[in-house]
Amino acid sequence: MLHGEPFNAKEKFDFMNIYVGNLSYETTEDELRTLFAEFGTVDSAKLIIDRDSGRSKGFAFVEMSDNSGGHKAIESLNGRDMNGRALTVNMAKPRENRPRGGGGDGGGGGRGGYGNGRRY
């Protein structure tokens, strides 16, 4: 860690966050934990759930405390069949900061008409 960089606990303690995609909607977090436990300690397995429907979005994140076990899991599980689907397994990318809300450009509506309400 260089001077002036923010402290990142996950880097310091060698955690690995793994993306698991192309999951069957029936896959459970317990199934993921069991699958990844073959390669090391699984700290968490989190299915991503659609807030409107309450069902899985078909992907998850698995956090492992052992980096080498995480790499072995990625190598071994990427492409493996689980519940009739070939898994996509790779190192998770950092989450991008996205604006929260209902979308759109965030601006107010125009007034319409000729000149957009400006006086001349």
79/114: higher pLDDT = 79
Round to whole Å and give the CA distance between 63 and 9: 13
Q: Whose structure tokens read 């993921």? A: 32
pLDDT at 34: 97
Query: What is the spatial distance between Cα 32 and Cα 93, in angstroms, rounded to a whole number?
Result: 19
Residue 106 pLDDT exceeds 60 = no
Options 3.40.50.300, 3.30.70.330, 3.30.565.10, 3.20.20.140; CATH of 9-91:
3.30.70.330
Q: In terms of pLDDT, which residue wins out, 88 or 117? A: 88
pLDDT of the residue at 108:
55
Residue 73: exposure state from Cβ atoms within 10 A (0-12, 13-18, ≥19): buried
Section 83-98 average pLDDT: 90
Return the domain boundaries, the chain: 9-91
Q: Is the pLDDT of residue 39 over 90?
A: yes
